[in-house]
């Protein structure tokens, strides 16, 4: 397993290696062609991100190839680790050490606002203005990428986190319908377990446990209470019985998982699901991109449906790249990347591979599969149907998110911790972060 914190820098094949570039440069200068070269010289953007899976690589290759056409080289700074826990830490350390990459994956309106306040992010309002981003982008996305009124992030795509994957072969073999409610789920899971099949694939990695938890909160209560907890952080909401029910269900669901629950990467759990080792899995629809990349077609071997009792809502996660305000020498290349990211063709190609939907109000729907089309249609219904994912930084700041995930994870792992104790601990975090 790769450990977070190890920076891997790789030059994309399409680009020239510095040693070769230097030799070529010297040769041309000697021949008196220096001025011509200055114009054609390849620029490099180092991009720090956490996309390490097959589909994630394929998706960023779309961006890298387009950049390459512009004579800009995408240079990898990959910090592995699902949901970017390691990448966030490394990015902060590098910025503090005065070694910021030119580009970084940085998600969430609150986080972007904090970084913008510190003057760390390049503002590229002119790119957004000439590309008419205000007309092209969904309002929610627009709000995320201009947290202080200036454009500081380029939006790539929107994932739906409340996605339940199910094995279509097993479901038809046992004559089961995809569960729409948690009561349905219990009936389906009982039959599967009686047949010797693990009903639900799950890792004990904290963010993956919290993914299941946030979908349960939404199922139990709806967007308004969800926002009370994770966006407004109202300490009183944490004593509410609806949170108790969600925590209770999280614990009860363990009986449908393989025991012991192992700490595995999301791609490893997805592989277990793809191989028929479990009949269902709750994960963001980046897993759809991954299953597709492995050769499983949507609505072929597997199907997607909303997590039970959340069908009316889109629990979203918007991926964004920021351009770090370095010495200004990369500005042109950074702006070009921002412009490329929002172009309709790239939006379509990238998101088809990634499993997400374009950030555009009018994308090409014909190229989307059934789940993406449903996801886009629901998201485009507006804010009342959209719910910001806690795990993926859409609801609150990084520290609150991490603290809450740690509590949920401990509660899940240790049956000695009571529901009310977990509520108390979560409420204490909210109180500390809001000083109420």
- Residue 303 forms beta bridges with which residues? 166
Nearer to ligand GAL (CB atom), residue 56 or residue 309: 56
Nearest distance, CB of residue 286 and ligand GAL, angstroms: 4
Nearer to ligand GAL (CB atom), residue 247 or residue 287: 287
Nearer to ligand GAL (CB atom), residue 66 or residue 159: 159
Nearer to ligand GAL (CB atom), residue 230 or residue 286: 286
Dihedral of alpha carbons 200, 205, 211, 212, sign: positive
Q: What is the CA radius of gyration of the chain?
A: 23
Nearest distance, CB of residue 110 and ligand GAL, angstroms: 15
Nearer to ligand GAL (CB atom), residue 76 or residue 317: 317
CA distance 221 to 242: 6
Nearer to ligand GAL (CB atom), residue 319 or residue 335: 319
Nearest distance, CB of residue 328 and ligand GAL, angstroms: 29
Token pair 């399409």 is found at: 14
Exposed e or buried b per residue across 69-103, where buried means at least 16 C-beta atoms within 10 angstroms of its C-beta: eeebbbbbbbbbbbbbbbbbebbeebbeeeebbbb
Name the site residues for ligand GAL (rule: CB under 6 A): 50-51, 56, 82-84, 107, 159, 286, 317, 319, 392
Nearest distance, CB of residue 15 and ligand GAL, angstroms: 23
Nearest distance, CB of residue 163 and ligand GAL, angstroms: 12
Comparing every residue's Cβ against ligand GAL, the nearest one is 82
Nearer to ligand GAL (CB atom), residue 50 or residue 74: 50
End-to-end C-alpha distance for the chain, whole angstroms: 41
Nearest distance, CB of residue 88 and ligand GAL, angstroms: 10
Nearest distance, CB of residue 57 and ligand GAL, angstroms: 11
């Amino acid at each position: 397993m790769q450990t977070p914190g190890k920076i891997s820098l790789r030059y994309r094949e399409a680009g020239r290696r510095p040693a070769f570039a230097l030799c070529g440069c010297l040769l041309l200068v000697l021949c008196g062609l220096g001025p011509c070269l200055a114009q054609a010289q390849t620029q490099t953007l180092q991009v720090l991100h956490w996309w390490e899976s097959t589909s994630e690589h394929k998706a960023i290759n779309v961006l890298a190839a387009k950049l390459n056409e512009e004579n800009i080289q995408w240079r990898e700074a990959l910090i592995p680790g699902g949901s970017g826990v390691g990448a966030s830490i490394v990015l902060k350390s590098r910025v503090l050490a005065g070694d910021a990459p030119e580009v970084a994956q940085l998600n969430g309106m609150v986080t972007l606002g904090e970084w913008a306040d510190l003057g760390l992010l390049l503002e590229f309002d002119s790119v957004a203005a000439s590309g008419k981003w205000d007309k092209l982008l969904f309002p929610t996305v627009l709000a995320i990428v201009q947290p202080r009124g200036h454009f500081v992030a380029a939006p790539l795509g929107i994932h739906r986190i409340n996605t339940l994957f199910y094995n279509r072969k097993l479901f038809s073999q046992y004559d089961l319908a995809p569960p729409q409610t948690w009561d349905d789920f219990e009936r389906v899971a009982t039959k599967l377990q009686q047949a010797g099949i693990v009903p639900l694939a799950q890792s004990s990695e904290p963010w993956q446990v919290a993914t299941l938890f946030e979908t349960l909160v939404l199922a139990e209560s709806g967007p308004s209470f969800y926002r009370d907890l994770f966006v407004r952080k109202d300490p009183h909401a944490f004593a509410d019985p609806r949170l108790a029910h969600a925590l209770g269900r999280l614990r009860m669901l363990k009986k449908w998982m393989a025991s012991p629950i192992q700490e595995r990467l999301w791609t490893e759990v997805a592989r277990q699901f793809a191989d028929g080792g479990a009949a269902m899995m709750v994960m963001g629809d980046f897993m759809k991109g991954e299953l597709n990349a492995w050769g499983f077609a949507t609505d072929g071997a597997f199907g997607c449906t909303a997590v039970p009792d959340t069908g009316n809502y889109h629990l979203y996660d918007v991926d964004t790249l920021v351009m770090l305000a370095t010495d200004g020498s990369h500005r042109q290349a950074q702006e070009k990347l921002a412009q490329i990211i929002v172009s309709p063709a790239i939006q379509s190609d990238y998101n088809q591979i990634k499993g997400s939907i374009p950030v555009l109000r009018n994308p090409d729907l014909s190229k989307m599969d059934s789940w993406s089309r449903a996801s886009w249609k629901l998201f485009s219904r507006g804010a009342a149907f959209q719910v910001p994912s806690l795990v993926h930084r859409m609801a609150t700041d990084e520290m609150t998110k991490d603290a809450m995930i740690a509590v949920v994870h401990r509660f899940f792992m240790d049956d000695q911790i009571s529901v009310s104790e977990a509520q108390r601990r979560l409420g204490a975090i909210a109180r500390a972060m809001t000083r109420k």
